Amino acid sequence: MRVDVLTVLPEMVEHALGFSIVGRAREAGLVDVRVVNLRDYAADRHRTTDDTPCGGGGGMIMKVDPVASALDAVTAGGPPARTILMDPQGGAFTQRVARDLAAEQHLVLVCGRYEGVDERIREHLVTEELSIGDYVLTGGELPALVVLDTVIRLLPGALGDAGAPERDSFADGLLEHPHYTRPRTFRGWEVPAVLFSGNHARIERWRRWHQLTRTRDRRPDLWERYPLTEADRRLLAAGEPESPTVE
């Protein structure tokens, strides 16, 4: 996969890409992430990427021409790229969207700045818009990094445990079950005894029960859409499979 990130703050993006799973995936050649400075495509000697809004008003607007020129450059000679504007007006970025993006060969993430972007960027230059939440940030760089982190960890070989993405929260529409590690007792807080039982069937029932109840209690929006099986209904009716105490 190739990903181009178009931004006026390339140092901010590049620095964050050198760590953890994303950094290792780049080093291993699983993904080619290129950070493009939009100022390099500005038409004037001051490398201007913003201007005052037509019709008046406060703030500055990201200009259309540097974005268009940068997009022309990063997509020249290659297959069509999926071009995404990171913007609070966009559709919700979800795990399902991330899986869809992970199947693409070439992504371009356009990071907005200032008061907003010239509307012609939305209308003519990008294929879609994505938002990571109903709040406003100072720019699209952090959302772009969120998308990159989420998508890259889904690429084959990015994680040491190939099956890990299938067990993540939202992978099957439910939140993930609780996790523990040693020490078994800390400040009087105990790891549930079932996790030391060696009985894999009991452990899986315990984990499934917590997945179901955690999603039901914390995310009713997900719970309403989740298709419960008959086995799930029986498990919920029976109550928690194990008491969280040390045997």
Among all residues, which ones are annotated catalytic? Answer: 88, 115, 153, 168
Q: 219 in helix, strand or coil?
A: coil
**Strand ranges, E, within 58-98:** 61-62, 82-92
Taking the C-alpha atoms of residue 41 and residue 66, their distance in angstroms, rounded to an integer, is: 5
Taking the C-alpha atoms of residue 160 and residue 8, their distance in angstroms, rounded to an integer, is: 34
Taking the C-alpha atoms of residue 246 and residue 158, their distance in angstroms, rounded to an integer, is: 36
| Residue 175 backbone dihedrals phi, psi, to 5 degrees | -75, 160
> Token pair for residue 86?
């990171």
Taking the C-alpha atoms of residue 139 and residue 151, their distance in angstroms, rounded to an integer, is: 20
